[in-house]
Each structure stands twice: as structure tokens, then as C-alpha cells.
Structure 1
Amino acid sequence: MNRNSRILLVGGGGYLGSVITPMLLEQGYEVIAFDKYYFGEEVLASVADHPRLKIVKGDVRTLDPSLLEEVGAVLHMAALSNDPACELDPAWTLEVNRDASIRLARLSRERGVERFLYSSSCSVYGAGGDTFLTEDSPLNPVSLYAQAKLDAEKEIFQLTSESFHPVALRKATLFGVSPRMRFDLAINTMTLHAITRGQITIMGGGRQWRPFLHVRDAANAYIACLKAPTDLISGRYFNVITSNLRIAELADLVSQRTGNTEVRCLPEDADKRDYRVSAALFEKTLGFRPGFSIEEGINEVSGALRGGQFPHLESSRYYTLRRLQEVLNTPAVDGGERVRRDFLPLALPLLGKAEEDEVLDTLRSGWITTGPKTARFEAMCQEYLECKHAIAVSSCTASLQLALAAANVGQGDEVITTPISWPATSSVVIHQGAMPVFVDVEPDTLNIDASKIEAAITPRTKAILPVHMAGQPCDLDRIRAIAQRHGLVVIEDAAHAMGAEYHGQKIGSISEATAFSFYPIKNMTTIEGGLLATNDDELAERARVLGNQGISRDAWKRYSADGNLHWQLLAPGFKMNMTDVQASLGLHQLPRLDEFIRIREQYVKLYTEAFADLPGIKPLAQRTGVRHAQHLFIVLVQLDRLSITRDQFMLALKAENIGTGTHFISMHLQPYYREAFGMRPEDFPVAARASERLVSLPLFPKMTVSDVQDVIKAVRKIVTSYARKTKAVGQEVREPVAVLS
């Protein structure tokens, strides 16, 4: 077939699309019927096997441009239809009705499509009263649906050229029987209520004018545009209607045609549309006249209802608003609409111009490795943490290893720590030649369970290495008391806890050593980087030497006016220094840290309140007497309450465009510890159980309240959708099962 005979029908599964598809096939066209098919593909069952029909399921927002190859005309009818449905999610409406329409028109022009028939609406006229509105009348859209249609029209018509001919049909409210039947359109609804309820209800007194058009006449209008000379239609818009009626007049007409059904009038009406429209221009230009009267449409719908053509009238398939609400409530992984249009990651840093300017200043200064800015940053951290020494290093991992090395933890020693942490916590112990000895965690905080530490102490124990999980301080009073009784050093892993406090004291000022992380997604960042805080002069001096190759002087001073002529190697050391480029960020991040934490606290409060009544997830507990740094917001998925696993929960959130994390799968479940140390899941049952359930939700200062609300909406949708149903006595209950790839 030639190109002019190939049609891309976007919205082929809709109320109008399912009517026009068979008509186009009868006219000899080849049809690609593209749609999301929210109402099922069976709406095209009568022609599904037709050799010139190709049914394609997809989203108009991401329509594959290859579908436009060798297409002569695009009939664009896909939209979120009617005003209430469009108010469900305004962003969704604008994406589909406006943005996707404009994108499709641009792609059509680029791919050589000649005709672009756009489905617009008489609602762009808004409230016009008794005056007959023509194509030249002022436009006054009073709903998001109408505004989106008008915005799309304007952009599409700007694409008009000698080879691309868009036309918009501003259709009246449709009526009549369709394979994708709707009972949320005025005539169809009144007829349904007359037949099934014996009563017709009208709002606002019924004096509002409305134009109406039979669905088959609408289809014929598009076919007329396909056949018309392009010079008659190119770049033009036309009103297409059968007739205008006041709502009260329509109700009386339906009443007469259905056995004098009672008409009930209510005073209020939220619908502000009131307009009567002239279709004279379309008739004059193309000679088009509708073939179905309103009376014939009422009789048609009434006959179909009385004949049982539409079973299960309570089904959402007949009501756009209800069906689209179901789509919004259905997890995206199961075919529903995503909560977010763009992906929200688990975390992002918040950097500004001050950081940028400082980095540029550093680059221009020539001191790009460890230098004066690192020294300034250390002094700022020392003051903020209220500690004697703050040593800036390349990472938190480096800080932990330096602390262990400076504390003389080595071959044959044991270090008690938690299995729920980043691998570095225990890996540095092994790199020092020592043995990590895990102690199980508290089930509600995931912090190390201090009540179990003493039982793990042996004559070889040298240190306790607690982790302040998610930014919440551990039970340091108890841990330090145990350490003092047994002569042990306490090295805190505070990778999550910069800015946290324990009983009024800053984390970093309490124990022998504390390690912090400035990784990009931490509460503050130096790109990479870490810090070792201590009040121990000897430990600090040893850590500084070991962190700088084990030599006697800072390398950068060799090139300064007061630098040393040479250095001495005092011990085999590490290359763990922070650079001035990294410190440049820290100089401006640290003063903002408390504000960052305040924002995190605000978002945690929103999460906590929103999930308080949600039985499928449980946020970690927050202890009193501490300042939580709120680095992570971790929830425990209640597997006994949901019909999906934790990983399926995360995949479902990913499908909603919500990023998540797992902090952390217990070390004793990892292959290395299983194989090298023979560890079993039952060795640390609390950590093992938590590892199957924990999920971190997005939390970072760069988020907005709207972002937080998106996360809440997505989590509630998923938990509600996959909640295990309570089983009644003697009754089998089927549970929803996620369709996950």
C-alpha cells in the first residue's frame, strides 16, 4: 500500500478510536492502532484479526518514532479525557495531553508524515453563554483539560509547512454506543440513569449550554479530513457538532425517550462550562453534515442498555475517572501509572557557588594536594566537634584504619563490631591482621546491641568498634563502661553521624577515636574524604604520621618558604591524606551542616507521620537523649503483612521512579565471611532477619517537600496494593502477586 493509505491512530483503544478503527479499515486504510489500552484490547475484538490492522500497546509519551515510518497521516486522539479525570494528577495530564501531543506532532513532521489530525475540544471556549461561538471567538478555557488542548493546538500549528498539514477538530461532547462504552458523558449518563435508576439528576439548574456530537459522526469528520485537499484544512481548526442544547432541555429529551423518567434538579454545579457552538465553517469547507441526531443517540444507548449489551454496569471500564484512579492506585510494576515522571535517587549532594568558587581558587593557587586549605578545614572540624584533634584523610575507611593502626591493633587481636555496616568497618580490621568479632544488633535501631558485647570479649579483644547506624548514636555509656572495665579502646564508626550528639556531647568528642565520612551522599561532602577525631595527643600524632606515608613532615611544606629540607621515615605508613581540592568543599559544607540536618529532620517527620498508620512497613526507632544526624531513613518491610519480598518492594518503588538502598545486608551473610569464617545466618539472627527487610528511602537536603510526598505516595500505593488480606474463617483469600522482571 502507498504511504497515504497508512494511518497511525494514536488512541485506538478509546471511545472514539474503537469506533473509527473499523471504519478506516472498511475505507481501505492500513491502521496502526496505538494505545495504552487501559480499558482492554478487546475493544477492537471485532477487527483484531484484520490483515491491515496492527495493534500496538504503548505510552504516547514514549511512542517509538519508528512507528511513523511510511505513515501518511496521524490521527491523534489519545488523551486523559474529561475535566475530573484531568484533575486527578495535573502533571500527568499535562504530560499526556499537552507535551506528548506536541512531541508527536514534531516527530510526525520530522518523519515525513503529511497530515496530522488533532483531537481538540469545544471546551477551549469555556464560558460563552448564549452567543454562538465560531472558530474566531475568544478562547476561555476553564479547566486543565481545555487549557492543555489549547496549548497543544498552538504549538502544533506552528509546525505547519508546505509538507506538513495539521488540522484540529474541536469536537463537541460525544454520545452514542462504542465498543469502549462510556457512561460518564452527558447523554449516555442521563440515559443510563433513566434506565437503571428511574431518575435523571441535573446540576446547577440546567441552564448551561452544551454542544453534542455522535461518536460515529466524529469518526466521519476525521475521515473527511483524511480525504480533503490539504489546502482546505492545513493549519486550521474546526468546530464539529450535531446540535446545542441546554442541560435541562437535554434531560427533558432523555426523559421523553425513556418513558417520562423523573428529572431532579440540584442547585450547585462545579462544572463552569457554558457555551453553544457553530459548526458552519466545517460544513461550508468540507460539506460535512452529521448523520445522527441526539434523539437517535438516546434511542441507540437506551436500546443497547435494555438489550443487555453492557453487562456489569458498575465496572470501572465504563467510567474514565474511576478507571484512571485505578491506574494511579495500581503499582507501575503491574501496569499502573508511575508516581514520578523523573527518577528520584536515594541521595544527592547539595553544592553551591561557594564550593565552586573555592575549588577554582584552589586550582589557581597551585596547592591542589594537602595544603593550607586542608589545615583550615581541620581547624573548623576541631572547633565544630569540640575535640582536640581533627585529622582530614582520604576516606572514612582510611580514618578507621588509621585509628586501628594508631591504637596498635594488629596481628592476633580481636575487634568487636557490628555485622550491619558497610564492608569497610570490618575489612580494615582484617587488613590490620586482626579478627572482627561480630555482635548482633538491636532489632529496632540496627545499632550494635550493647547488652551482648561483654559476652564476646576474650583475652585477645583490643577494641570495640560501634557504628552509629543511619546517624543515630549507639548506647555509648554502656559501651564505654564495658571498655573501661576491660581496658579496651573505643573507636566509633560515625560515617553516618557527622553532627550527631549523645547526651549533649558531639559525636567525635567522646571516645578515643571517631571516624567520619564525607562521601558525596553523606550529610556533608568533600567529594571523597574522611576525618579522624580524637582527644588523645599520642594517638593523633601517630595517626598523622601513618596517614602521610609514615614520614616526619607534611609533604606540602617541602615546597613552602618555611619547609623542611628533607624528611625521615618513621614507620611504614599509608597514602591517606585529604587534598586541598577536597577540603575546598568542606570549608563551605561544614557551616551548612546544621541546616542540612534540620531539613533532614523535617523530611523524617513527614515520613514518620505518613507511615504511622501503615502496617506494612516500620521505620527504625529513634532514641531519646540523642541528636540523630538523620543520614538515612530506614524502614523494615513487614514481610508477614505483605505478599511481596523486600527486593520486590524495592523494584516496585524503582518502577515508580523512586530510588532506594539497602543499609546494610549483614556481613555474616556475605560470601567472604561465610566461606572464610564459616559464618551461618543463625549466628546473628536479628541481623539476618533485618537483612531481609531493611530498605532506605530517599533523604537528602536537595529534595523538596514535593519529592518527599512522591515517596510517601509511592510507598503507600505499594504497601496498600500488596497488603496481605485478612482471612475470614473458612474462607480462602487470594493475595496480589507482583509482576516483576
Structure 2
Amino acid sequence: MIPIALPLLAHEEAEAARAAVLSGWVSQGPQVTAFEQEFAALVGAPFACAVSNCTTALQLALAALDIGPGDEVITASHSFIATANSIRYQGATPVFVDIDPETYNIDSAQVMDAITHRTRAIIAVHQMGIPCDLAALTAIAKRRGIALIEDAACAAGSEISIDGEWERIGKPHGRIACFSFHPRKVITTGEGGMLTTADPELDRKFRLLRQHGMSIPDTVRHGSPQVLFEDYLVVGYNFRMTDIQAAVGRKQLERLPELVARRRAVALGYAELLGNLEGLRLPAEPAWARSNWQSYCVRLPDRLDQKGVMQTLLDQGIATRRGIMCAHREAPYAAESHRHQLRQSELAQDHSILLPIYAQMTEDDLRYVVNALTRVLYR
């Protein structure tokens, strides 16, 4: 079986987890602090705050900005449902706009038309690791006085050119960027997330809210030579990362450049071998973007049945996934009135498939997938 994804975890990660377990401190502690510092340095962010997953990161981002009932947040329906759910958790309303069919990212031209007097933020998703048009989106956000949050769940290691300089996604362009370390992502801690920002006040709020609103973290309490009593200043959450996860994450960070380079090589192989197949649309990487290729999505000819193609490939030992879901088609959001046409989002879900891509993928694996897909297209 050629899987859709395969995390690269080895003895280094196992030994790091073992050391954390044997240290006696397994909840949020020194490994989390070190992971935050190393992640911030890697992406070029002044602050990074580790949390339990990217969904909680997105919710904390909205909570720290005091977004709640009566507010609207513009985002793409064409994203994992966690993006929309994080808005709903805060009692705010997601306003869905369509995507650019070439990059599968939110169409910045349509964002401007979606802004109303109730709009408080834009959540822009770097879909499948392809950076969205941050230059356009930051300009819109600044002009209209609203917050830009980057859903960078898939984008650890991706880069974008800003004013001629290449920068990693996570260096603050909007107010906050949120990352995932799920096993389907380029680097993993099993579960886990991270928020980056340039705003020290937002970082303070993240740290307060992730730990029940506790005024003194337990790491400070346990390390103090004096007895300290904490207060609970706000209604917070238990959104903490464990030291075991963070220890694994630190080793994964060391691998990130290698993992991205290998994925980019696999994506280039797909582009070269599939580029001339009639009717197959490949993902577009803008000149100002360098994707980590967390996923590799191809658009099938309309004449082909998506599920049938996927089953044919599965019968030959190749795992695929359907195109990224659309939240507005799911039960929690289907009853809402949607002000904007979402045709490209729906077409992408219905006619695209994700092909296997991971760092350990061999040339033989790649050619096997390409040959099997070619036979499907020309049968």
C-alpha cells in the first residue's frame, strides 16, 4: 500500500519522548518552552505559543481578539471544518467566500466584497501548504481596520516572497498565524498546535487562556522557593501541549528543511510526469510562493467519477483522498444563508483528489502512482 501520507518519526523522536517521560515532568513544561522558542526562531516570529492542536489555536486567536456573538469572520468554506468551527465556538458567524481554482486558496478579490460593518477578522487558509496572497489580504485588512489571522495548519516550512525577500509562513504578516502538528502535516507531535504573533499583549492572552486563566503558571509555582498562590483571572481553557509532544516536536523541527526539500522534489516529479496529461489540472504554485506541498491535489476531467477513480487506485494499493471539503455543505452550516457564490469551492471538492506525498516516497512509488492514474485517465 502506498499511503496518502506517512510521518517521518525515528529513533531520535523516540529517545526525545523517552527522556521527557523519565524527566518526571510530562505536562506543559521546559520542553514546551524550548519548542516555542525554537519554532519562533525558525519562522522569524517574536512570539510563539504552543497549544493542544490547531483548532484550539484558531479559537484562542479569535478569543484574544475579543471576537464573539454579533461579529462576522470572513473565511473559505473550502477548508477542513475546524476553520469554521473555531469561529462558531466563539459565537461569531463565518462568512464564506470562494477560492481561486488554481491555488485552492481564498480569492482575495472576493474578500473585499464580503466585508460589512460586522466584520472583525479574516481567516485566510494556506490550503495544503500553498501560501495564500498575503500581500493583497494584509492590504485589505489594514485598509478596513480588521484583523488578519492565518490558518497555517498545513504550512509549516512554506515560504512567501514579501518585497523581494523570502520569509517563512509564521513570520507575522497579519495579527496571528496558527499551525497544526497533526500526523498528516509535514512535521508532527501526534496532536498539537502553535500560534505566532508580533504582539506581546496577544501572546500574553494566549498563555493566560490556554491554562484556565491561571495568573501564575504551574512551572513558575513549582520552581519558586516561596509559596505562591495563583488566581484565575478569566474563564480560560485547557489547551496545553505536553512536554512529551514538545520533545518530539523539537526533533521534528530539526528535520523540517529536509522534509520540505524532499516533498518539493516529489511534487516536481508529479508535475513533470503528469503535466502533459490532457484534462488533468495540476496545482499552481505562484512565483512568490514556495509550498511545503503538505498535499498534492489534482483536478480530474469532469467526465470522470471522483469516487470511482479513487476506488480504482485503492484497488491497486494507492490511497487517495477526495478534494478538500466545503464546510457550507455540512450539517452544522447547511441551514445558514450564504451570501456569496461558492461554485469553485464545490467544483474543487467534487472533482479533485489528493495524491500520496511524503518524504519517504521513492521514485518507484511516484511512477507507480503516475502510471496507475494515467491508465485511469485514458481507459
Q: TM-score, normalised by structure 1?
A: 0.50
Whether 2:243 is the aligned partner of 1:585: answer: no
The 5-angstrom pairing of residues 519-598 of structure 1 reads 519-562=182-225, 565-598=228-261
Counting matched residue pairs gives 374
Whether 2:8 is the aligned partner of 1:346: answer: no
Larger radius of gyration: 1
2:26 to 354, 365, 368: 368
* Cα-to-partner distance string for 1:114-159 (whole Å, 9 max, x where unaligned): xxxxxxxxxxxxxxxxxxxxxxxxxxxxxxxxxxxxxxxxxxxxxx
Q: Which runs of 4+ in 1 moved over 2 A?
A: 555-564
The 5-angstrom pairing of residues 68-87 of structure 1 reads none
Alpha-carbon contact 2:322-2:350 (below 8 Å) kept: no
* Cα-to-partner distance string for 1:422-449 (whole Å, 9 max, x where unaligned): 1010101011010000110001111000
Whether 2:39 is the aligned partner of 1:377: answer: no
1:518 to 168, 176, 181: 181
1:663 deviation in Å?
A: 4.1
Tell me: CA distance 1:709–1:401, structure 2 relative to 1, closer, same or farther (3 Å).
same
Q: Aligned residue for 1:617?
A: 280
Whether 2:289 is the aligned partner of 1:631: answer: no
Unaligned runs of 5+ in 2: none
Q: Aligned residue for 2:17?
A: 359
1:559 deviation in Å?
A: 2.6
Q: Aligned residue for 2:49?
A: 391
Alpha-carbon contact 1:669-1:679 (below 8 Å) kept: no
Alpha-carbon contact 1:557-1:563 (below 8 Å) kept: no
* Cα-to-partner distance string for 1:353-394 (whole Å, 9 max, x where unaligned): 111111111111111110101111111001001111000110
The 5-angstrom pairing of residues 187-198 of structure 1 reads none
* Cα-to-partner distance string for 1:619-644 (whole Å, 9 max, x where unaligned): 1111001121111100011114xxx3
Alpha-carbon contact 1:473-1:502 (below 8 Å) kept: yes
1:718 to 358, 376, 379: 376
Q: Aligned residue for 1:666?
A: 326
Paired AA for residue 273 in structure 2: A
2:170 to 493, 503, 508: 508
Q: Distance in 2 between matches of 1:420 and 1:699?
A: 21
The 5-angstrom pairing of residues 35-74 of structure 1 reads none
Alpha-carbon contact 1:410-1:433 (below 8 Å) kept: yes
* Cα-to-partner distance string for 1:395-422 (whole Å, 9 max, x where unaligned): 0001111111001111110000001101
1:479 to 126, 129, 137: 137
Q: Distance in 2 between matches of 1:654 and 1:668?
A: 28
Whether 2:63 is the aligned partner of 1:405: answer: yes
Q: Distance in 2 between matches of 1:671 and 1:678?
A: 13
Q: Distance in 2 between matches of 1:393 and 1:562?
A: 28
The 5-angstrom pairing of residues 87-126 of structure 1 reads none
Q: Report SS of the residue matched to 1:462.
A: strand
Whether 2:130 is the aligned partner of 1:467: answer: no
Whether 2:73 is the aligned partner of 1:415: answer: yes
1:556 deviation in Å?
A: 3.3
Q: Distance in 2 between matches of 1:393 and 1:557?
A: 18
Q: Distance in 2 between matches of 1:519 and 1:562?
A: 38
2:359 to 681, 701, 712: 701
Q: Distance in 2 between matches of 1:556 and 1:662?
A: 44
Q: Distance in 1 between matches of 2:275 and 2:148?
A: 36
1:597 deviation in Å?
A: 0.4
Paired AA for residue 49 in structure 2: I
Whether 2:265 is the aligned partner of 1:602: answer: yes
1:508 deviation in Å?
A: 1.1
* Cα-to-partner distance string for 1:558-602 (whole Å, 9 max, x where unaligned): 333457622111110111111001001111100110110000011
Tell me: CA distance 1:637–1:382, structure 2 relative to 1, closer, same or farther (3 Å).
same
Q: Distance in 2 between matches of 1:391 and 1:583?
A: 12
Alpha-carbon contact 2:180-2:194 (below 8 Å) kept: yes
Tell me: CA distance 1:634–1:456, structure 2 relative to 1, closer, same or farther (3 Å).
same
* Cα-to-partner distance string for 1:483-510 (whole Å, 9 max, x where unaligned): 1111001000001101111111221112
Alpha-carbon contact 1:462-1:488 (below 8 Å) kept: yes
* Cα-to-partner distance string for 1:39-90 (whole Å, 9 max, x where unaligned): xxxxxxxxxxxxxxxxxxxxxxxxxxxxxxxxxxxxxxxxxxxxxxxxxxxx
Q: Report SS of the residue matched to 2:55.
A: helix
Paired AA for residue 598 in structure 1: A
Whether 2:309 is the aligned partner of 1:652: answer: no
Alpha-carbon contact 1:421-1:663 (below 8 Å) kept: no
What is the root-mean-square deviation of aligned Cα atoms in Å?
1.4
Q: Report SS of the residue matched to 1:619.
A: coil
Q: TM-score, normalised by structure 2?
A: 0.96
1:715 deviation in Å?
A: 0.8
Q: Report SS of the residue matched to 1:692.
A: helix
Unaligned runs of 5+ in 1: 1-342, 722-741
1:683 deviation in Å?
A: 2.9
1:475 deviation in Å?
A: 0.7
Q: Distance in 2 between matches of 1:548 and 1:501?
A: 31
Q: Distance in 2 between matches of 1:582 and 1:562?
A: 28
Q: Aligned residue for 1:425?
A: 83
> What percentage of residue pairs aligned between the two structures are identical?
36
Paired AA for residue 41 in structure 2: E
Paired AA for residue 533 in structure 1: T
Tell me: CA distance 1:616–1:546, structure 2 relative to 1, closer, same or farther (3 Å).
same
Alpha-carbon contact 1:417-1:466 (below 8 Å) kept: yes
Q: Distance in 1 between matches of 2:259 and 2:280?
A: 26
Alpha-carbon contact 1:472-1:497 (below 8 Å) kept: yes
Alpha-carbon contact 1:526-1:582 (below 8 Å) kept: yes
1:543 deviation in Å?
A: 1.0
Q: Distance in 2 between matches of 1:452 and 1:563?
A: 57
1:671 deviation in Å?
A: 2.5
1:718 deviation in Å?
A: 1.2
1:557 deviation in Å?
A: 3.3
1:452 deviation in Å?
A: 0.5
Paired AA for residue 381 in structure 1: F
* Cα-to-partner distance string for 1:312-366 (whole Å, 9 max, x where unaligned): xxxxxxxxxxxxxxxxxxxxxxxxxxxxxxx111111101111111111111111
Alpha-carbon contact 1:548-1:573 (below 8 Å) kept: yes
Tell me: CA distance 1:645–1:385, structure 2 relative to 1, closer, same or farther (3 Å).
same
Q: Aligned residue for 1:690?
A: 348
With 555-564 and 395-404 compared, the bigger mean Cα shift is at 555-564
